[in-house]
Amino acid sequence: MSAPPFALTVNGAPHAVVAPPDQRLTAVLREELGLTGTKVGCDAGDCGACTVLLAGAPACACLVPLAQAAGQAVETVEGLAADPWGAALQRAFLAHGAAQCGICTPGMLMAALPLLRASPQPDEGAAMDAIGGVLCRCTGYRKILEAIQAAHLFREAEAPSSAGAVGERLPRVDGPARVTGTALFGADAAPSDALWLKPIRSPHAHARFTLGDCAPLLARHPGLERVLTAADIPGRNGFGVYPDIKDQPVFCDGLVRYRGDCIAALVGSREAVEAVRFEELPLTWEVLPALTDPSAALAGPLLHDRWAENVLATGRLRAGDAEAALAASAFTAAGEYETSFVEHAYIEPEAGWAQMVRPEGGGPEASDRIEVFATTQAPYMDLDEVAGVLGIPQDRVRIIPSACGGGFGGKLDVSVQPMLAVAAWLLRRPVRAVWSRPESMASSTKRHPARIAARAGCDAEGRLTGFAFEGLYDTGAYASWGPTVAGRVPVQAMGPYRVPAVATRARAILTHQPPSGAFRGFGVPQAAIAQEALWDRLADAAGLDRLEFRLRNALRAGDATASGQVLTHSVGLVACLEALRPRWHALRDAAASRNAGGGSRRHGVGIACMWYGIGNTGMSNPSTMRVTLGPEGVTFHNGAVDIGQGSTTILLQILAEALGLPPRDIHLVLYDTDLTFDAGKTSASRQTFVSGRAAQDAALALRRQILLRANAGEDAKLDLRDGILHVDGRPLPLEAPLEGIGRFDPPTVPLDADGQGVPYATYGFAAQLAALSVDMELGTVHLERIVAAHDVGRTINPTMVEGQIHGGIAQGIGLALMEEYLPGRTENLHDYLIPTVGDVPAIECLLIEDREPLGPFGAKGIGEPALVPTAPAIFSAINHATGAWITRAPALPHRVLAAIREARR
Amino acid sequence: MSGDRKPASLAEALSLLAGAPEAPLLLAGGTDVYPARAVAEAWGRYAPRPVLDLSGLGLAGIEDRGDHHRIGAGVTWAALRDAPLPPWFDGLRQAARQVGGVQVQARGTVLGNLCNASPAADGVPPLLTLEAEVELASRRGTRRLPLGAFILGNRRTALAPDEIATAILVPKPAGETRSAFLKLGARSYLVISIAMVAGLLEIDSGRIAAARLAIGACSPVAQRLPELEAALIGARPEEAAALAAPEHLAPLSPIDDVRATAEYRRHAALVLLRRLLAGLAAPQAQGGSQAA
């Protein structure tokens, strides 16, 4: 019996859809109609990424059954360009930098559309209400609000766009695909004959298991092709970001170490795979006691035999005699601080597909290759992992990164890639996987929860004398980036200050918790909470203004860091603090006058500073960029994955400026391990600085060849006319293509056992102010304004830099006030809270440009620096408002209220 | 599912329900059904059930029936939010504006929120203060239950297997009435309550003639506060906030969870209650409905 098709009208076009009546509209649009512009972030109405219009009203398509959508007008992002307000919104989003990674963009646009139809010039409150149901993890929402409010200016035509010189607001060059919904994210594409893969994950944090004979299961489910287990891995059943630590199994071999650990995977038709209930699997569990507390884990049974006392890694720094310095200090302060697991909560869950490829014309099996298309921040690391698990040489692996719907460090580890590769390799069929939100949250890495005990001292004039820091970082069940965190934290934990005597130690402790990995800042944001709180205490004790105290101790060019590195250039912290000073006084005065009025709300203003080493800690992290000139024109081969931060645009601006052509004349070949060189991973705020310098060098290398051929001088003018390169107006004859290659590896010196060396070639510096009020009866915190001064060396593109600052601040707000991942309890986006549009206040960006000579046109990085000072600035402001010291993040209302009561005692 | 049906009348729906070999899943706006399904799917627990889609029954009206209002089963939060209703609905409509985002408000139904019976259901406290009844229909007939008798516990209701909840019936209070709702959460949109308070006062000659107060997210089912309600009678509205005392919260049994501690909830409930009463004393001065 075949049911009659449902009549669905999408963007004015009729469709007859044969699917179950309770099928989610998202699945119908994406899978049945191929309209993948509507994104799926949670399937639970929590994120709004799938917002469409149903009879003109916004709805989460994931909550709408096909039967209820039938007969109503459905509007999706694919229809926007044909709608006057839709097109205006798209243009405004591009011009204002309102789309970063682009995964929430279709939902944002659709949510804003009915507002503009009803109210062409909405105020900010109306715009907030319209998009209050759509989560964005990249932008901090401010530019989205700007774009919605400005959309009426974009009704008729494009805004005049800059040519894209360095320093100009070139709209992101990969933006059009994001506002039209055509960018292909991990879940948006796969060969039509691809099988589905669904991992089976442990509900237990620590358990032994046996998986019996799966033949009856396969027989019961026609279309289920295979149950993959540890025994099926052709190569090494382990992955991990360190070459010598491949400790996380693709499929566990009889023992799970955290809730979410993968024990097997079902592969087959989608229907067959989705019909299997886990209770049908011949699984038996022996649940074991779980170590969930890092202090207890130090004395507990070992998670991995290799790591004594469950200490995965220890980093330390020693300079001078910190204990003696503290003992001799006029003022000292001490505190203990605790932070929580923080989930990356990129709106795009992990997804992709893999296929085995036999070279054209057949060829021996030994020449078969594997191709993996997936969402990632680190294609070359993925390539290593896939080669490892398949046991094949690296040149037989191709990684094609999808558009990346947010990463923030969470997509530096592999996710779907190894198991997809194994499945496609063994089954000789393309295989795809799309993780659900609960699966993504249960399985992926987190920000390390930290327990920090810190002490600091200063002399009678408020000059810092000594700093001691002991950090216990819960690194979870597997290594991931734990050693990197343990390595970076001790080097940066004293902050961007002159501290003569330092003793810092950070340890990454293995527990039966989710693997803690890389998350925007690699452990430094946690440390900054402790460090900045101590400065407030010392400033108060010494009777100094909190800003002036920081200024007095700020690192300046010519100073040596605690690592013994003399900073010769681009130390812009003093400039940041001086830029903030007028705002500091104005905001403090305003808070004081508002407090004078009484009431249950107290106002306060806080400050925090940060530094951040750009690139890997004391390790090589090169990038190679390539640009060619041939009959097709100029082509930029750029292997740096743009995860929304804007590197594709930034690197193009750098390359174009160095070459002497406008960006629009340059073709792009973007990140594909077969087509581009290794640019390193998109992490550590390194792409602008490292890949940017490589791009600049590549451009200069090509320019030199061009000028040589044209016999032209250094300042010759290049231009492209009808595809022909002209030098000073004369066409350049080209017998063979020319190529420029740039490679840059920031100069560092590995750290010794005491943390001495040159860990980073350059540092970003920043100071932020937070102005807020606290409800003294409820403990709720209302942010009113953040003022962020960042030394970025040189602003390549102000829109992108501001976008990073806004987004980093939004994540800092989440860390400070609401984000707390608890395995098994907050594995969704309604129990795990990330900031909504109403939680990010007005942000003022003050860009300081203290040029870095090594950087491209003087530029450094901004991705992580944006986040680091926000939480400590908020806690500083809470203290200013209430007298309460926040020692536990997130500062949920009940914790703030408890701290207020403690302060009054 | 082959057993999925979308009947066009209540009679047909009740007949299908009575004859169903397997209890179907009742589907209205879908805003609770699909999130639960997502979790079950993720952990391999999803067991498909036939769906009985109630969205075609034509029960989407809000009607003035003389001595009461009838809110049909299909009425969404958005419809309620945007409807011109008398002031005793102010609290419920303030709740409507804070249920999920506008996407959820456009699809989720008010009655579905009651049937889902979450301890944090935003609709329950205001409807308790409205002394609402739930109308239940089956082929056996129609019955009405006071809301307090309809919701039995966390995710449990008195809905019989052959019944469909068809309407919320809201009696009209006498005289001048003021109502309000306050919700406390840890972020500004899309937030599940830490605690919430709804209140309705009937004012006669400047005195409180009747008071109904309810607190949600502080017990398995939202609770009325009968002792405080009694204590307020005869008081002037501006005195009401000062009369609320910790012992009036005895009906609550808050728990520690990911959002807050039990102790905090009890404290916050009282703060919210006093603010709500203070706001009701000066209704024109009350701007927003959000507590935090």
Q: Which pLDDT tens digit goes with each residue over B140-172?
A: 999 999 999 999 999 999 999 999 999 999 999
d(CA A434, CA A36): 13
| Segment (H or E) for A614 | none
**What CATH fold (topology level) applies to the domain A1-178?**
Ubiquitin-like (UB roll) (3.10.20)
Amino acid at B154: N
Restricting to A residues 132-191, those with a Cβ less than 8 Å away from any Cβ of B are 132-135
Q: For B6, which of A21, A64, A437 is closest by C-beta distance?
A: A21
- A128: nearest CA partner in chain B: B189
- pLDDT band at residue A422 using 50, 70 and 90 as cut-offs: very high
C-alpha to C-alpha distances, A166 to A536, A802, A857, B215, nearest whole angstrom:
38, 15, 8, 58
- A277: nearest CA partner in chain B: B44
Q: For B38, which of A436, A777, A893 is closest by C-beta distance?
A: A436
Q: Quick check: A364 pLDDT over 80? A: no
Q: For B187, which of A129, A274, A833 is closest by C-beta distance?
A: A833
- Residue B27 tokens read as 């589907």
Are A209 and A285 within 8 A, CB to CB?
Answer: yes
DSSP annotation of A402 reads P
pLDDT of residue A697: 98
Q: Quick check: A873 pLDDT over 90? A: yes
Are A748 and A556 within 8 A, CB to CB?
Answer: no
d(CA A393, CA A395): 6
Q: Quick check: A70 pLDDT over 80? A: yes
pLDDT of residue A159: 66
Q: Quick check: A252 pLDDT over 80? A: yes
Query: HSE (CB half, 13 Å, CA atoms) of A106?
Result: 33
Alpha helices (runs of H) in B47-178, residue ranges in sequence order: 77-82, 90-96, 102-107, 110-116, 124-129, 147-150
- Global model pTM greater than 0.95: yes
What does the mean pLDDT of chain B come to? 94
Amino acid at A69: A
Q: For A438, which of B42, B100, B258 is closest by C-beta distance?
A: B42
pLDDT of residue A831: 96
| Average pLDDT of the segment spanning B199-228 | 97
d(CA A582, CA A250): 55
Mutate to test the interface with B, among A39, A144, A778 (most CBs of B within 10 A): A778
Please check whether residue B192 touches A, CB under 8 A.
yes
| Average pLDDT of the segment spanning B59-73 | 97
User: How much of chain A exceeds pLDDT 70, in percent?
Assistant: 99
Q: Do domains B10-32+60-171 and B176-283 have the same CATH topology?
A: no
Give Dmax (Cα) for chain A: 88
* List of chain B residues whose C-beta atoms are within 8 Å of the C-beta of residue A72: none
Which class is B10-32+60-171 in CATH?
Answer: alpha beta
Residue among A811, A813, A817 nearest A519 (CA): A811
Query: HSE (CB half, 13 Å, CA atoms) of B70?
Result: 15
Q: Quick check: B286 pLDDT over 50? A: no
pLDDT digits (tens, 9 = 90+) for A203-214: 999 999 999 999
| Average pLDDT of the segment spanning A145-162 | 88
Residue among B42, B41, B76, B46 nearest B61 (CA): B76
Which class is A623-744 in CATH?
Answer: alpha beta
Q: What CATH number is given for B176-283 in this structure? A: 3.30.390.50
d(CA B72, CA B10): 12
Question: How is the beta sheet containing A724-727 ordered, strand by strand?
Answer: A718-721, A724-727, A730-731
* List of chain A residues whose C-beta atoms are within 8 Å of the C-beta of residue B267: 897
Angstroms from A355 CA to nearest CA on chain B: 25
Contact A778 B184 (CB under 8 A): yes
- Residue A727 tokens read as 């030098």
pLDDT digits (tens, 9 = 90+) for A376-390: 999 999 999 999 999
- Residue A250: CB atoms within 10 A of its CB come to 27
* List of chain B residues whose C-beta atoms are within 8 Å of the C-beta of residue A46: 35, 190
| Average pLDDT of the segment spanning A621-632 | 96
DSSP annotation of A884 reads P
* List of chain A residues whose C-beta atoms are within 8 Å of the C-beta of residue B51: 21-22, 65
Burial class (CB in 10 A: 0-12, 13-18, 19+), B41: middle
Q: Quick check: A237 pLDDT over 50? A: yes
Question: How is the beta sheet containing A623-630 ordered, strand by strand?
Answer: A666-670, A633-638, A623-630, A738-744
C-alpha to C-alpha distances, A852 to A34, A653, A683, A694, nearest whole angstrom:
47, 17, 19, 15
Contact A63 B292 (CB under 8 A): no
Domain A195-288+367-406+411-443 has CATH 3.40.50.2000: no
DSSP SS3 for B237: helix
DSSP SS3 for A654: helix
Q: How many residues does chain A have?
A: 905
Three state DSSP letters for A809-826: HHHHHHHHHCCCCCCCCC
pLDDT digits (tens, 9 = 90+) for A805-830: 999 999 999 999 999 999 999 999 99
Angstroms from A193 CA to nearest CA on chain B: 23
Is the CA virtual torsion B195, B200, B206, B208 positive or negative?
negative
Q: Quick check: A596 pLDDT over 50? A: yes
d(CA B202, CA B208): 6
Q: Quick check: A846 pLDDT over 90? A: yes
* List of chain B residues whose C-beta atoms are within 8 Å of the C-beta of residue A22: 1, 4, 27, 51, 53
Amino acid at A805: I
Please check whether residue B230 touches A, CB under 8 A.
no
Among the residue ranges A118-127, A159-168, B185-194, the one predicted with the least confidence is A159-168
pLDDT of residue B288: 40
pLDDT of residue B3: 73
Which residues are CB-contacts of B110 (< 8 A; sequence separation ≥ 6)? B71, B75, B76, B77, B80, B92, B96, B123, B127, B168
Q: Quick check: B289 pLDDT over 70? A: no
pLDDT digits (tens, 9 = 90+) for B86-135: 999 999 999 999 999 999 999 999 999 999 999 999 999 999 999 999 99
Three state DSSP letters for A326-339: HHCCCEEEEEEEEC
pLDDT of residue A12: 97
Domain A316-342+446-616+754-904 has CATH 3.40.50.1220: no
Mutate to test the interface with A, among B102, B183, B258, B274 (most CBs of A within 10 A): B102
Q: Quick check: A718 pLDDT over 60? A: yes
DSSP annotation of A602 reads E
Please check whether residue B125 touches A, CB under 8 A.
no
The domain segmentation of chain B, as residue ranges, is 10-32+60-171, 176-283
pLDDT of residue A765: 98
* DSSP bridge pairs for A601: A775
* List of chain A residues whose C-beta atoms are within 8 Å of the C-beta of residue B103: 45, 48, 51, 58-60, 63, 111, 133
Which residues are CB-contacts of A66 (< 8 A; sequence separation ≥ 6)? A6, A8, A17, A19, A20, A21, A22, A23, A24, A25, A28
Contact A278 B55 (CB under 8 A): no
pLDDT of residue A1: 44
Are A464 and A499 within 8 A, CB to CB?
Answer: yes
Cis-peptide into A890, omega within 30 deg: yes
* List of chain A residues whose C-beta atoms are within 8 Å of the C-beta of residue B104: 45, 60, 63, 133
pLDDT of residue B285: 47
* List of chain A residues whose C-beta atoms are within 8 Å of the C-beta of residue B46: 274, 277
Angle at CA of residue A663, ends A651 and A700, nearest 5°? 60
Restricting to B residues 2-31, those with a Cβ less than 8 Å away from any Cβ of A are 2, 4, 6, 27, 29-31
Q: Quick check: A732 pLDDT over 50? A: yes
Q: For A200, which of B31, B35, B44 is closest by C-beta distance?
A: B44
Are A248 and A515 within 8 A, CB to CB?
Answer: yes
d(CA A636, CA A652): 8
d(CA B15, CA B1): 19
Contact A828 B194 (CB under 8 A): no
DSSP letters, A658-687, are HHTS-GGGEEEEE--TTTS-----S-TT-I
- CA dihedral defined by A540, A544, A550, A556, rounded to 10 degrees? -150
Q: Do domains A1-178 and A623-744 have the same CATH topology?
A: no
Report the relative pairing of strands A842-848 and A781-791 from DSSP bridges. Answer: parallel
Contact A437 B35 (CB under 8 A): no
Q: Quick check: A359 pLDDT over 90? A: no
The domain segmentation of chain A, as residue ranges, is 1-178, 195-288+367-406+411-443, 316-342+446-616+754-904, 623-744
What does the mean pLDDT of chain A come to? 97
- A56: nearest CA partner in chain B: B106
pLDDT of residue B2: 54
pLDDT of residue B194: 96
Contact B53 A835 (CB under 8 A): no
DSSP SS3 for B64: strand
Are A602 and A778 within 8 A, CB to CB?
Answer: no
Angstroms from B54 CA to nearest CA on chain A: 10
